[in-house]
Structure 1
Amino acid sequence: MTRKLRLPFIGLAALLAAGQPTAQADNTGTVEAGVLHHSLSDGFGTWNQQFVRGSLRTSDATVWNADLVNARQFGAHGALVVGGVTHVFNEDWYGSLAASHGSSFFFPQSRGDAVINRKLGDARNVIATVGVTAVNARDGHRDRSLLLGLSWYLPNAWVLQGGTRINRSNPGGVMANAKYIAATWGYNKQQYIALRYDMGEEAYQYIGAGSADLLVNFRSSVVSGTWRKWLAPTYGFQLRAEAYHNPFYDRRGLEAALFKEF
């Protein structure tokens, strides 16, 4: 994970539950475990991760989630712990809170996210999203950002998304903004296929623990594709491919996971 405040990929379960709340209500929770391997160009080595994700529905309106990640990037080891909650306030409004802590230079020392969503239109098939994020790095760098997005639920099982993140990094007051578009197709308990493209600026990115190992003020882009497939009503697999580019190196890789619903 880079220091760029990349627009987070909205998890398929969370995305589709937001637009179709009854589709996920038959599940109390989900456990998912997997691995990630990415290869980097220009002598930057490889990334490897192992992770466990979980969600627990404690009421018709509230879902808790947690992630635990063990990673090796740029020759160093680190761990990341994430926790969050999503709550439906009424038929029009829902929101989420999340916090995370990382143990190495390539993860934020602390991060907090707050997001509010509003369903629009007579059919409530357009969702407006506003979010704020605060990131504190281990070396004193800080990011503060505003997320603005739209999700449009179309006939024939399509969901289109687009948005932007307006980000300010300090010290220096550097603006590093990003945009994204995404499309998802599929049906609950069968399969979902999603494609996403991100592009924008990065204010800074550490590629090592030393003060000299710092990339600053550059553009980057990410293309990703996700396939979530049920093999039975309560379990299946997910594959995610990603291709990242910046002026200094390219990164390509695959994430594979198994999930079980209960």
Structure 2
Amino acid sequence: MNSVMTPTRCLRPLAFRRALALAAALACAAPAVLAQTPAAQIPAAPDAAASAPEAPLRGRVDLGLSGARLTAGESNWFDQYARGFVVVKPGTTVNWDLNHERHFGERGTVGALALTQDLSPRWYALAGMSFGSASFQAKRRVDLGLYRKWGADQRWVTGLVYMNSRSNDDIHRDQGLTASLAYHAPRNWVAEGGLVFNRSNPGSVTGTRGFVALTQGREKSHYLVLRLDHGKEAYLPEAALQSPSQGNVAFNSTEATLQWRQWVGPRWGYTASVQHYRNPYYRRHGIAMGLFFDF
């Protein structure tokens, strides 16, 4: 059976209320809701509006570059990205994402749109779709999520996201569920964790992953994010296979990302991140740099 990538890794729901669009740290081997190269994502606090600037934030644009060195004879990665969000009206946010990626000696472009919509003071929903052109990207991916805030101060947030994707060979398909829990602690700390359940076909290959993330910071100052992700992937990307014997399935991998987002002025700043990924076949070490602009 030919091996293609699976979205078991990097199934990361958008758990932020004000749709904080982070610059991508490193290219993952699988797509996410808004981008197929996401960094750890910052969930906005439930009371984020209380700390909003005097001039309402209507949107953000992130521009940047990322690169990674791979071992085991794999070619290095180099990506360029542009992404952001627009607050259409209070409670309605549209996120967009465009990435040009060079992975495993192949080039591809992926674009995505997602809508985050408040349904009530405690409920909000997510709907996203992305399209990729290369074999290591999903040809088509859809994400549908539902989130609820809990407690008198709404500091607890639970989420459930359904994912469905099809690869560019029109043969392999993936379906997955991500269950997440976030706590927005006082003094600008956010802790998040979750489980990802994925099934890849043909072959009914199942994968389960867990992730944890810790965020410190606030809007107009800085954000520091540490994210750890570990568990089972279904397939290697077809472009990554050096030989047919390398196409084993259901292997474990681990990924760690550290990202810094710093405001320099009221309406702009920079991002910097590092990432480490390893599986039984190769390791990946990368960095990313970018600028962002608020409007």
Q: Once the two structures are superposed, what CA deviation does each residue of 1:67-98 show, in whole Å capped at 9, x if it has no partner?
A: 11111110011000111111111210111111
What runs of 5+ residues in structure 2 fail to find an aligned partner? Answer: 22-41
Alpha-carbon RMSD across the aligned residues, in angstroms, is: 2.0
Matched ranges for 1:9-24 at <5 A: 10=14, 13=20, 15-17=42-44, 19-22=46-49, 23-24=51-52
Amino acid at match of 1:217: A
Deviations 1:91-131 (A, max 9, x none): 10111111000000010011110111100111110000011
In 1, distance between residues paired with 2:47 and 2:132? 33
Letter in 2 for 1:87: Q
- Given the superposition, is the C-alpha separation of residues 16 and 175 from structure 1 closer, same or farther in structure 2, using an over 3 Å criterion? closer
Correspondence 1:236 to 2:269? yes
Q: In structure 2, what is the equivalent of residue 3 of structure 1?
A: 6
Cα 1:119/1:55, change in 2 over 3 Å:
same
Q: Say which is worse superposed, 165-174 or 3-12, in terms of deviation.
A: 3-12
Residues 16/203 of structure 1: CA separation in 2 closer, same or farther (3 Å cut): closer
Structure 1: stretches of 5+ with no match in the other structure: none
State the match for 1:138 in structure 2.
Answer: 168
Tell me the TM-score normalized by structure 1: 0.94
Shift of 1:3: 2.9
Q: Which one has the bigger strand percentage?
A: 1
Shift of 1:9: 7.1
* Identity rate, percent: 32
In structure 2, the CA distance between the partners of 1:185 and 1:18, relative to structure 1 (3 Å rule), is closer
Higher relative contact order structure (alpha carbons within 8 Å, sequence separation ≥ 6): 2
Offset of residue 215 of structure 1: 4.5
| Structure 1 residue 225 displacement after superposition | 0.7
> What are the equivalent positions in structure 2 for 1:63-74 lying under 5 Å apart?
63-74=93-104
1:186 maps to 2:217: yes
Say if 2:13 and 2:161, in contact at 8 Å, map to a contact too. no
2:25 aligned partner: none
The whole-number CA distance in structure 2 between the counterparts of 1:162 and 1:244 is 19
Matched, 1:115 2:145: yes
1-structure distance, mates of 2:126, 2:165:
17
Residue 62 of structure 2, aligned match among 21, 26, 32: 32
Aligned length: 262
